């Protein structure tokens, strides 16, 4: 068996975590850019991952604070997965990735960084987006600043969700 070492992740693992849940954002959109929230829907929200694997790494979460998918209503589940689908479409149109990782980590043992609130990762991928820099130099190459990515994606989300209404 081969091992892939990811030493850059230890910074996130050991870092002090903010108090409270990052997905329990309240009602006011006045801090959306600061919190990296791109969309607030009927039952779920979309935010950029502050510790992305690649540019455009999104997280979609229900408003309901739960770690258990069984506690979500059918309407919440439908809104959650419709939002994931729309995220994939928006990223395809704005960033032209060659693939996607879309997944849910349920529980700390499964890799959930925030294990008390269900959320879905939508990660755009390009051939060659992982390279020797991460393995050899303990560096992840992010070609675009996080807030630049936010400002680039926000109009697409605003437009797409207006059409979806």
Instruction: Enumerate the active-site residues.
Output: 119
Strand order in the sheet with 37-40: 37-40, 44-48, 58-62, 120-125, 99-103
Return phi, psi of residue 123, to 5°. -120, 110
Residues 59 and 122 sit within 8 Å (Cβ to Cβ): yes
**Residue 104 token pair:** 């849910």
Closest CA to 7 of 121, 145, 137: 137
């Amino acid at each position: 068996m081969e091992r892939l070492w990811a030493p850059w992740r230890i910074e996130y693992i050991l870092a002090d975590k903010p108090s409270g849940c990052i997905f329990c954002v309240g009602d006011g959109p006045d801090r959306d850019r600061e919190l990296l929230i791109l969309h607030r829907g009927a039952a779920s929200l979309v935010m950029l991952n502050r510790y992305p694997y690649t540019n455009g790494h999104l997280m979609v979460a229900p408003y309901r604070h739960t770690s258990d998918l069984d506690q979500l209503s059918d309407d919440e589940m439908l809104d959650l997965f419709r939002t994931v689908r729309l995220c994939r479409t928006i990223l395809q149109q704005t960033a032209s990735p060659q693939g996607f990782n879309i997944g849910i980590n349920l529980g700390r043992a499964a890799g959930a960084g925030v294990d008390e609130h269900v959320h879905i990762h939508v990660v755009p991928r390009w051939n060659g987006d992982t390279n020797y820099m991460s393995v050899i130099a303990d560096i992840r190459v992010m070609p675009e600043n996080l807030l630049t990515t936010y400002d680039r994606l926000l109009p697409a989300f605003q437009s797409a969700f207006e059409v979806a209404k």
